[in-house]
Structure 1
Amino acid sequence: KKLNKPVYRAKNQLNISNVLYSMNEEVQAEKILYKLLENPVCVEDTSFYINTLLLLTEHDVPLSKKYVSEAYRLSTEFANKRLLIQSECFMGRFYQNNHRPDSALYYYRKACRRVNIRNIDLIVPVIKNMSECFAAIQQEDSAYVYLNKYEQYKDSLDQVNSLAEIRRMESRAAIEKQELELQQAEERGRFRFVLILVVCAFILCIAALICYIFWKKSREEKIKKQLKELENKELVTRLENEMLQNNCFKVELEYKDRELASNSLIIMEKNQVLKSLVDELEKEKDAGNIQSNTALQISNNIRMHLGTDDEWDFFKMQFVKVHPDFFVRLKTLCPSITEGELRLCAYIRTGMENKHIAQMLSLQPESVKKNRYRLRQKLNLGKESLEDFLRGI
Structure 2
Amino acid sequence: RRDTGFCVNVLINKYLMSGDSEALVEACGLMHPGIPVSVRMDLNLALSGWYCSEGHAAEALPCLEWLLSLPLEDRPADEIRDVYGIAARVYDATGRADSANFYYRQIAVLQDSMLSRNESLNILNSEVREEIAKNDEKRENELKQERLRTWLVVLALLFVAGVALFYLYRRMQSHRLATLRTSLELERERRKVVSSALAMTEKDNVLEAVLSDISEIKKGGEIGEAQIRQLEQNVKMHLIGRQDWEDFKVLFEKVHPGFSSLLKTTYPAVTEGDIRLSIYLKAGMNTKQIARMLQLQPDSVKKNRQRLRRHLGLTADQSLEDLLRSLG
TM-score by length of 1: 0.39
| TM-score for the superposition, normalised by structure 2 | 0.46
> Which structure is richer in relative contact order (CA contacts within 8 A, separation 6 or more)?
2
Which protein shows a greater Rg?
2
